[in-house]
Amino acid sequence: MNRYKKICVWLFIGFLSLGFRVFPGQWNISKTDPTIWVKLCSSPVTIQENDITGSDPLTGVAGLTIQQVMQSVIDDYNAVPTSYLRLALYPADPNNPGTPASGDSTFTIAAAEKRTIEICFDGTDSGAGLSGGHAQAKFEGNTIVGCEIKLRKDKTEKAHFLTHLVAHEIGHCFGLMHPQESVNSIMSYFSNSNVFLRLQNDDLAGLSNRYPEEDSYAKEENTYGLNGCTPK
């Protein structure tokens, strides 16, 4: 094998071992001010069937609402122990937001102008994508200052797919892309939406890399897939 081919092989191996994928840019949040707000910007769908099973928190919930699904996804993101990132529902009355939950930033309209994810439901596939959803981040330089998620109404009537879809699209709003070499990620095109409702290890790694509770959590070391092997 000539030198050029060897370089290509090692580059390919390195690419496969990267795991999570992220795009440049981050939200202007910190450990002391960590919250992004999630806002429904149009009339939500009516969930016609709660088909979630197993030990999920939403299993068996009667009359499940879109707000309950959103809060459940938010709780999942807020439970990442190695990331300071926080999500919260946009207050119903922005002028009287009430006391923030423990760990959340204090809500102000001025702060939320550049730290809000808007989720809209579209009756067609225009802008929403054939898969059911589409996320588009807004930037000022390398700083994310907003994100709009469009979801198709005809793809979001069952609770299982809707929960998976919301979690996936919010992941895009935080810079997570599609790790094509892994199925163990809610962000992967190859993950099974009929199985994954919640963030998987690859997703947790990506969030911890972008918004780490400790600086050491963001450090990466490429092992070329040889974890646990000691060179001789």
pLDDT in tens, 192-219: 666 788 999 999 999 999 999 998 777 6
CA 125/CA 129 separation, integer angstroms:
6
* Cβ-contact 97, 91 below 8 angstroms: yes
Between 22-36, 83-97, 174-188, the lowest mean confidence (pLDDT) is in 174-188
Tens-digit pLDDT profile for residues 137-168: 999 999 999 999 999 887 778 999 999 999 99
pLDDT at 43: 67
pLDDT digits (tens, 9 = 90+) for 109-146: 999 999 999 999 875 655 555 578 899 999 999 999 99
Does the structure show a pLDDT above 50 at 232?
A: no
Buried b (16+ CB within 10 A) or exposed e, 153-181: bebbeebbbbbbbbbbbbbbbbbbebbee
Going by C-alpha positions, the residue among 29, 22, 82, 35 that lies closest to residue 214 is 82
The angle formed by the CA atoms of residues 51, 53 and 57, to the nearest 5 degrees, is 105
pLDDT band at 100 (very low <50, low <70, confident <90, very high): very high
Amino acid at 196: F
**Mean pLDDT value of segment 73-90:** 97
* Domains and their CATH numbers in the chain: 23-211 (3.40.390.10)
The Cα–Cα gap between 133 and 111 comes to 26
* Phi-psi label, residue 146: left if phi above 0, alpha if psi -120 to 50, beta otherwise: left
For residue 121, the model assigns a pLDDT of 86
For residues 72-80, give the mean pLDDT. Answer: 97
With residue 118 as reference, give the H or E element that holds it.
Answer: strand 116-122
